[in-house]
Amino acid sequence: MPLINMLTRGNFSQHRKVTGTPVVADSTDHALIVRANILRTDGAAAVKGYVRFTGGVAPTVDLIPLLYDADTNTFCALTKLSGLLDGQAFEVNVHEVPVYFRIDAVANAPTAIEIRVAPGELTMHA
């Protein structure tokens, strides 16, 4: 699992880039999620991010943040992030739990969607 680098807080990195003609929603079958694409969030209480599109006419995307429980190999869905526009910011509370952003719906035919993330608020340990 890739780790959000706490030393680069405020700098965004690519979580996923999906291409298609056009891009379509991900499968809802969690068994198909490539475990290496799950984002480790050690030390982060939250993850912030935004999406970038290529192609399409005013495209939007719905993302569902899925928290990952490695002990049971299961996912727990958080509240859907609906109608995200190009460059629109979002923030999700993860409390140091690994997360994967599933593409739930795509509108207006983009040919690429890039999900970029950075650590949000950090967790303070005594």
CATH of the domain at 28: 2.60.120
Residue 48: inside a domain, yes or no?
Answer: yes
For position 71, what pLDDT does the model report? 95
Percent of the chain predicted with pLDDT > 70: 90
For position 7, what pLDDT does the model report? 44
Residue 4: inside a domain, yes or no?
Answer: no
- Give the model confidence (pLDDT) of 23-52 as tens digits: 999 999 999 999 999 999 988 899 999 999
Residue 44: inside a domain, yes or no?
Answer: yes
Peptide bond into 22 cis (omega under 30): yes
Q: Which residues is 46 bridged to in the sheet?
A: 93
pLDDT band at 105 (very low <50, low <70, confident <90, very high): very high
Structural domain count, the chain: 1
Domain of 27 in residue numbering reads as 14-119
Mean of per-residue pLDDT scores for the chain: 90
